[in-house]
Amino acid sequence: MKSLLRNRNASAVPRAAAPQEAPAPAASTVAGVPRAVGAAEQVLRRLEWTVLRRLDGLLQGDYRTLMRGAGLDLADLREYQVHDDVRHIDWNVTARLNVPHVRVFTEDREMAAWFLLDLSPSIDFGSGELRKENISTEFVTVLARLLTRHGNRVGAMLYGSGVEAVIPTRSGRSHVLHLLHSMRTRKAPTQPGPTRLHELLASAASIIKRRSTVFVVSDFISEPGWEKPLAQLSQRHEVVAVRVLDPLELELPDLGLLTLRDAETGEQVVVDTHDKGFRKRFATIAAQREAELREALVRSGVDALELSTDGDLVDAIVRFIDMRKQRTRLSAGGGVPTHLKRA
């Protein structure tokens, strides 16, 4: 049954995939612009109009919690409040005024963000109009554009059958366009095999030297052993696990006999989805894997965000920003003594 659950990533259900233009040769141009680059430009413009404009309206430009800087600058002094971190108390001012005062800091905003992109064959799946790869690409493009608009630098590591490309951190719209173009025009692995996510995480640990915000964008369908490298990465960097999934991976509909094919190994199996008992066992195993995955992410000490192929990207990013705000508030009160927390 575990083998059967792994095969759920196959293209078992016919899907109305959104038509996509095949990548054209680099020499083919339209009005002097390579077609592949022109297609990436069209995607970026569409996301800027349909997603970024909505986010600007919902958040009113408040993206301060997307990333936390590596440095702090003293901005002000004020009286101590119940939920302040006692480590920020200025004892000299407190002694002079006989009233506890704390230092208020502003964070250094110039910080790098890295996207570790799992583009293995299991990502190329979707039971509806969008595939997991579409959701992953759009999320990375939108977030990269949000960050570069505020002066931050973004980079990426692309993983297929191995680490295929490393895009250094830079800022600006042209760099986001380059990142999008690289994701859309990468070549499919000639010899697909099981995903080894631990290889991507280990490579990131050796390449990313300076403290950064790291987004691990994957479906986390991988060989075991990625939990420890992820936890080690989170000790040095601020890590966010962005998991992409499809509803069909959690529950099978009643569609009669189906041939499921593992997108990574090519293994096939015929199942009868009309069997209620089989569908129930499939859902049970899927739920168990979901619980184990979430527990592994919690143990690794990383934030987690889920992106579904049938969900709304704007809502997902708003949830992410709200989660970051809550995490910032909790971390700010982390140094409060126990008796004050109870009070």
- Burial of 309-321, coded b for 16+ CB within 10 Å and e otherwise, reads bebebbebbeebb
What confidence tens digit (pLDDT) does each residue in 177-208 have? Answer: 999 999 988 877 666 678 899 999 999 999 99
Least confident of 63-67, 144-148, 337-341: 337-341
Residue 13 tokens, joined: 């259900």
Give mean pLDDT, residues 156-170.
Answer: 92
**pLDDT on residue 128:** 86
What confidence tens digit (pLDDT) does each residue in 302-339 have? Answer: 989 999 999 999 999 888 888 777 766 655 544 444 33
3-class secondary-structure state, position 54? helix
3-class secondary-structure state, position 267? coil
**pLDDT on residue 258:** 82
**pLDDT on residue 329:** 62
Query: Which helix or strand (DSSP H or E) is residue 259 part of?
Result: strand 257-261
Between 17 and 125, residue with greater pLDDT:
125
What confidence tens digit (pLDDT) does each residue in 20-53 have? Answer: 433 433 434 434 445 556 788 999 999 989 888 8
Q: What are phi and psi of 251, to 5 degrees?
A: -155, 135
Residue with tokens 């199996």: 269
CA distances from 280 to 126, 210, 275, 276 (A): 21, 47, 9, 6
| C-alpha span between 108 and 197 (Å, rounded) | 31
Burial classification of residue 84, based on how many CB atoms lie within 10 Å of its CB (0-12 exposed, 13-18 middle, 19 or more buried):
buried
Residues 6+ apart with CB under 8 A from 158: 117, 119, 164, 165, 166, 167, 182, 183, 186
Residue 148 tokens, joined: 């570069």
| C-alpha span between 336 and 87 (Å, rounded) | 9
**pLDDT on residue 127:** 85
Between 12 and 230, residue with greater pLDDT:
230
Largest interatomic CA distance in the chain: 80
pTM of the predicted model, to two decimals?
0.74
